[in-house]
Structures are given as C-alpha cells and as structure tokens.
Amino acid sequence: MSRTAFCLLILLSHSAMAATDKPADLFQLIDQRLKFMKDVACYKARHHLPVEDVAREDQVLRHGLQQASRAGFAGDEFRLFLQVQMSAAKAVQYRMRAELEFLPAQRCLSPELSVTRQKISALDDRILRHYAALQHAGGHISPDDFQRFEQILDTRYLKHGEKYALFIALMHARLEPQAAP
C-alpha cells in the first residue's frame, strides 16, 4: 500500500470515528443536565418547595421551543423531547427527594436555584446546538444507539423505561426539511 493511500485510510477512519462520537457527545450533555437535578432536588427539599412547578415548566417549554425553532427543529417532535426530558428530570428529583428524607441536612448542599437553572439553560443550548450540528452533518440517532445512550445516562434515579422514552423522543426530534443540508 502506498504511503498516500495509507495516510488517506487513517484520515478517513479518524473522521469516521469522530462522526460516531457525536451521538455519544450529545448523550453526555443530556447526562450532565440530569446530574444537575441533584442540586435542584436538594435546594427544593431544603426550602420546602415542590418538585412540580407548572409555571416554570411552561416557561422552560416556551423558551426551548423558541430556541429549537431558531435552530430549525420541527416543533411537535421537539416539544415531545422537551416534555419527556422535563418528566425525566422530575422523576430524578422525586426519587432523590425520597432519599433525602433519610439524610442529614448537611449532606444536601446546593447552590442557589437561579445559579443551577442558568447552568441547566446553558446545557439546554449546548444540547440543541450539538444535535442540530449532528443532523446538519448528516448524522442521526438510530435505535442501535440506545445501548450507548443507556450506558452514558448512568443515574440510578431513572428507570430503563424512562431512559427509553427519552431516547425515542430524542431520536424523533428532527430538523425541518428546509433546515436540513
């Protein structure tokens, strides 16, 4: 094999590996977002706030849909993803809250909720940008990616079915045809 062909082969295999890492990178961002639910649950427990906050959920949903529309995502599919993502976040918070009932208060320290929410919002933007870039590059998420998704979402507070619902909603969130390359 010529040196040029060998270099080309290495370059192509490296770019193929980079392309396959993109879904995993997206999954990592979603996992990071879920990890912030510990801080949210701790703050709400310490301040005797309910997990459910319908007004906040509506605000997050409206903002997420505006951002998704600007990025070129189809509204209904992305709405479903946002709703399932919020449901998963609440499931994590509820399970953590139940656990926190048996822990001393000093084990549950968290920053101000506004600080945590800013970090979550920044992650939401990164998730959106990353997924749009993945799709613009011709990448996609397929059913074959679920095992990797489930491995990366390592929180013990989400059940298999909840992870699967989140994965399916993510898989169906697509760019509008005119926004695709």
Q: What average pLDDT does the segment 153-167 reach?
A: 95
Q: Grade residue 107 by pLDDT with cuts at 50, 70 and 90.
A: confident
Cα–Cα distances (Å) from 119 to 74, 87, 124, 177, in that order, read 25, 19, 9, 31
Contact between residue 84 and residue 34 where contact means Cβ atoms under 8 Å apart = no
Domain ranges of the chain: 21-179
Structure tokens at 156: 């013990």
Instruction: Give the pair of three-digit tokens for residue 26.
Output: 């997206």
As given in the structure block, the two tokens for residue 90 are 């609440």
Q: What is the pLDDT of residue 106?
A: 60
Residue entry with tokens 């189809």: 74
Question: What's the pTM value of the predicted model, to 2 decimals?
Answer: 0.84
pLDDT score, position 166? 98
pLDDT at residue number 8: 36
Closest CA to 43 of 114, 92, 125: 114
**Higher per-residue pLDDT: 12 or 157:** 157
> Above 50 in pLDDT, residue 69?
yes
Percent of the chain with pLDDT over 70: 85
Count of CB atoms within 10 A of residue 50's CB?
9
The answer to whether residue 101 scores a pLDDT higher than 50 is yes
Task: Quote the DSSP letter at residue 178.
Answer: G
Instruction: State the pLDDT confidence band at 21, using cuts at 50, 70 and 90.
Output: low
Cα–Cα distance between 175 and 37 in angstroms, integer? 28
* Average pLDDT over every residue of 130-155: 94
Q: ∠ CA(40), CA(158), CA(35), 5° rounding?
A: 35
Residue 134 banded pLDDT, cuts 50, 70, 90:
very high
CATH class, 21-179 region: mainly alpha
With a cut of 90, say whether residue 20 has pLDDT above it.
Answer: no
The DSSP code for 107 is G
CA 144/CA 167 separation, integer angstroms: 11
